Amino acid sequence: MSVKLSLLLTMVAFFLMLRKTNGRPLPKADAPKDVINKLQSIFKVGEGIMVYNTGIAREELEDDEIVCAERRAGKSYCKEVENYMEATRLDKIDPEQFAKFKEYFKDDLEPAQMVATRMDFGKLPCNSRTNIIYPKGAESEDSKWLLIVQHGQHKQGILVEECENEGRPCEENSTLPLKDIPKCKQSFTYRKLVVLVNGVMKEEMVKLPSTCKCRMCST
């Protein structure tokens, strides 16, 4: 009798497992449509692969809507800004506003030598690259991000110098501890440019790369 009961219980358990395996949940008509969007903010999907998205999600940046690759990389300016024209509507701005700031709409003088090298005796070089950029966004003195006016013939070309080997030690054969060895470090300056705030052009100081120097990390 006990053998038959055991066999019966085994069969019941088998059928229950089979039913659970083959059963499929019914689709929910009111399932949230933003699930895929949420997943895409976490994963990058390609053919046959799925990897974690290591970039900074848009919502993790400041809520000022100025988003760009340079800002994600920790720089103080944006060469391009997502939805720049939609955000600025520069094509709708009164031409008199452009005329008011016409002295700003020009390029800085570009040096003949594009790659600069700073080296003192006994030190390794701090290589830097000098070029003209047309930033569409930049960080202000009070750490806010502003949209810079760049439109048609009204462009502000800014000469910048950026480290190519920032963080590299610039002392040769130093006996100092690694943490105390001077390193190549990016320096910045504040430059007055024409920005757009609430549809109105105005002058503001923004932070831009200036030089690459050998300095102690704490300075």
pLDDT 10s digit of each residue in the chain, 219 long? 544 545 555 565 555 455 544 444 444 444 444 434 443 443 343 443 333 333 444 444 444 678 899 999 889 999 999 889 998 999 999 999 999 999 999 999 876 544 445 554 445 678 899 999 999 999 999 999 999 999 999 999 999 999 998 888 886 666 666 667 889 999 999 999 999 998 899 999 999 999 998 887 655
pTM for the structure as a whole: 0.64
The first and second tokens of residue 191, run together, are 């430059």
Amino acid at 106: K
All domains in the chain, ordered by first residue: 64-215 (2.10.90.10)
Q: Are 66 and 58 in contact (CB under 8 A)?
A: no
Q: Are 76 and 188 in contact (CB under 8 A)?
A: yes
Strands (E), the chain: 43-46, 49-52, 77-78, 115-118, 126-133, 137-139, 145-148, 158-163, 183-197, 200-215
Distance CA 178, CA 171 (A): 10
